[in-house]
Structure 1
Amino acid sequence: MSFAGLNTGNNLSLYAVPAAFGLALAPHVYALALVTLNKPPGAKGFDFSFPPNTRKGISESRLSPTDQERYLRAEAANDNNFVGLGFFAAAVAVGNVARLPTAVLNRAASVYLTSRLAYNLLYILGTNNAAGLARTVAWFTGSLSCISLFWEAGHKLAPL
């Protein structure tokens, strides 16, 4: 079977790890663009010498309050994505070592990537409790996809 030019009958789970890295980095790239492209003339932009200064000084950036909030939300999403990236990579590695079925590996990787995309959008654009709850569901969904790989690998590798 093919989807977007990819043969989904092949094990694509290892390719999902760099894709997850890209999804983890995407909010930071968005935040960088927001601060760089939307800053008023004469205002400070992104501080490449010490990036945390940009977060500390965002209220003095003269960006609109909406852009300031989106910047902070994007950076928070970026931070959370990188916290979970190692867990996902380890789950994929363990699943491959256990030689889990390709369908199981691809499904878990797809669920993780989709949930992280939803998480990013909900974190950056969501400004109410409903969006926060949906973001939490997206986070749990991605985490559970990782846990499922560890669980399946444990069953397969456990001595009988």
Structure 2
Amino acid sequence: MSFIGLNLTNNYSLYAVPVAWAVAVAPHFYAIALYNSEKAVGSPKWDNTAPKKNIANIKEAKLSPASQGKYLRAEAAQQNSLQNLPLFAAAILAGNFARLSPSILNTTAAVYILSRVVYSFIYITNTSELSANLRSATFLTGVATWMSLFVRAGNKLF
């Protein structure tokens, strides 16, 4: 059996945790690039010694309202993804502990990662009620994936 070219008889699920971390922090690097490319001449540089201070600096940097919104939403997408990451990692570990099939583990991990990529993209570019609702749907898809692993692991163990 294969999914996106992967042999699902091999268990790749533990590799999904560092991939999910990379997906989680990607919006932050987008925010940094946006800040540095859009700031007005003479504005404060990105301050890596006090990263939270940069949120206050976006007004001084005279970013356009659209860029300010994207910057703030990118940082929020990163924060949300990092808050979800421990639950996903724990679910992957629970699924492996319960010896769920590699097919289930790999497919669930892939769906989670894809949902987080789509979630972050929609979050950063969101400007309408419809896209906000789609963002919520992708968020819930990601939650459903890791929750399903806990339930499947529980069912198999008890």
Instruction: Report the TM range for the smaller structure's normalisation.
Output: over 0.9
SS of residue in 2 equivalent to 1:57: helix
Q: Given the alignment of the two structures, is residue 90 of structure 1 paired with residue 75 of structure 2, yes or no? A: no
Q: Residue 153 of structure 1 aligns to which amino acid in structure 2?
A: A
Q: Distance in 2 between matches of 1:31 and 1:148?
A: 32
Deviations 1:59-103 (A, max 9, x none): 221111111110000000000000000000000000000000111
SS of residue in 2 equivalent to 1:113: helix
Tell me if the contact between 2:116 and 2:138 (Cα under 8 Å) persists in the aligned partners: yes
The TM-score, its normalising length taken from structure 2, stands at: 0.94
Shift in Å, 1:51:
0.9
Q: Distance in 2 between matches of 1:3 and 1:42?
A: 50
Q: Distance in 2 between matches of 1:70 and 1:147?
A: 30
Shift in Å, 1:2:
5.5
Aligned to 2:148: 148
Q: Residue 25 of structure 1 aligns to which amino acid in structure 2?
A: V
Aligned to 2:39: 39
Shift in Å, 1:57:
2.4
Aligned to 1:130: 130
Deviations 1:104-159 (A, max 9, x none): 1011101100110110001000111111110000010000000000000001001x
Q: Which moved more, 1:56-65 or 1:117-126?
A: 56-65
Aligned to 1:113: 113
Q: Distance in 2 between matches of 1:90 and 1:152?
A: 13
Q: Residue 154 of structure 2 aligns to which amino acid in structure 1?
A: G
Q: Which moved more, 1:4-13 or 1:34-43?
A: 4-13
Tell me if the contact between 2:3 and 2:107 (Cα under 8 Å) persists in the aligned partners: no
Shift in Å, 1:3:
5.9
Aligned to 1:17: 17
Shift in Å, 1:58:
1.3
Gaps of 5+ in 2: none
Aligned to 2:66: 66
Aligned to 1:49: 49
Q: Residue 79 of structure 1 aligns to which amino acid in structure 2?
A: Q
Q: Distance in 2 between matches of 1:32 and 1:79?
A: 14
Q: Distance in 1 between matches of 2:28 and 2:112?
A: 19
Deviations 1:33-59 (A, max 9, x none): 111122222111212121111112212
Gaps of 5+ in 1: none
Tell me if the contact between 2:16 and 2:113 (Cα under 8 Å) persists in the aligned partners: yes
Q: Given the alignment of the two structures, is residue 75 of structure 1 paired with residue 75 of structure 2, yes or no? A: yes
- Percent of aligned pairs with the same residue? 46
Aligned to 1:8: 8
Shift in Å, 1:8:
3.3
Q: Distance in 2 between matches of 1:65 and 1:5?
A: 42
